Chains A and B, each alone.
Chain A
Amino acid sequence: MTPPTRPAVCAVVLVILLVLTLLTTALAYVPMGAWNPVSALLIAAVKAAWIGVFYMHLRRSSGLVLLFVANGVAMLLLLVGLVFADVAARLG
């Protein structure tokens, strides 16, 4: 199995994740127009990346696993992205 991440590293990642969480909530109260949902989703993606790389051991996974994960993320972005683009275009 992919060698698990050391607890000390896990702790550092946790602190980063908690800071990003507080940042997301705080930014929600700052009027930024369209950047509010965009910044929230970008921070969420960064948090997901930290969890994936360090807690889910992606940084030590085989290329095949990384390919599967990358494909899954790509399909997700394709589905949600194109649905959004379609709806937004119909409204505009």
Chain B
Amino acid sequence: MADAPLAHQFQERRQQEETAELGTWTFLLTEILLFAALFAGYVTYRTIHPAAFEAGARQLDVVLGTTNTAVLLVSSFFMAVAVHQVHHGRNRPAAVALGATALLGAIFLAIKFHEYDLKVQAGHFPGPGFTPLPDVDDGAARIFFSFYFVMTGWHALHLLIGVVAVLVVLVRTLRGRNGPHDSVLPAMVGLYWHFVDVLWVFLFPLLYLPGRSA
């Protein structure tokens, strides 16, 4: 199987691969800054309205949140294994691992949308039908749930794009377009997937865990 072509601006393959890695990280850093703005907003309003944010967080299902955290961590495990398998030319095991990654991502999204449904039913969507929480500032409680829906919504969108990307890599791997001769795309998609996991690793304690020890 011929090696992937060396683009004309590179002198050697290693240089091309390192550029892909650096470029992917640069993209991830811009995404981190996108979420950093949301985190900064969250930190601001939680500092001003701690009671309302804790009351809002208590409305979220900590079992579902913890489960989803575990789901994404296991998916990252399979993604890391898949990249290793592709690198060593074991395309069938790689495809299985990629399939597991995508499936776990889909499970996460299913649980997340179930949670959204629960929140809407409970009157916690910050809109006309919002049910005020007892003893806390109503505006601040709405702000908490705004952050909840926006931050997890943006995360879910990133995850959905990741699932599509993983499926693309899965098809390419089954067709032999990825392998030891060219494992750059799986590696880049892997970096993106782990980044989405790291995002959730921070979102979970900020949104689900405040106020639990009250």
Query: How would you classify the secondary structure of chain B's contact residues: helix, strand, loop or mixed?
Result: helix
Interface size of B by CB at 8 A reads 53
State whether A51 and B76 are in contact (beta carbons under 8 Å apart), knowing that A65-B25, A76-B36, A88-B47 are contacts in the complex.
yes
- A-B pair count, CB < 8 Å, reads 153
Q: On chain A, which size bracket covers the interface?
A: 35 or more
Chain B CB within 10 A, most for which of A43, A65, A80 = A80
Chain B CB within 10 A, most for which of A21, A61, A71 = A21
Query: How would you classify the secondary structure of chain A's contact residues: helix, strand, loop or mixed?
Result: helix
Instruction: Confirm or deny: B81 has a beta carbon within 8 angstroms of a beta carbon on chain A.
Output: yes
User: Could you jot down 6 A-B contacts, CB within 8 Å?
Assistant: A10-B77, A11-B77, A21-B70, A31-B214, A41-B205, A76-B39
Question: 1/0 contact trace for B34-76 toward A, CB 8 Å?
Answer: 0011011001100110000000000000100010011001101
Chain B CB within 10 A, most for which of A41, A83, A88 = A83
CB–CB A1/B17 < 8 A = yes
What residues of chain A lie closer than 8 Å to B28, measured between beta carbons?
Answer: 72
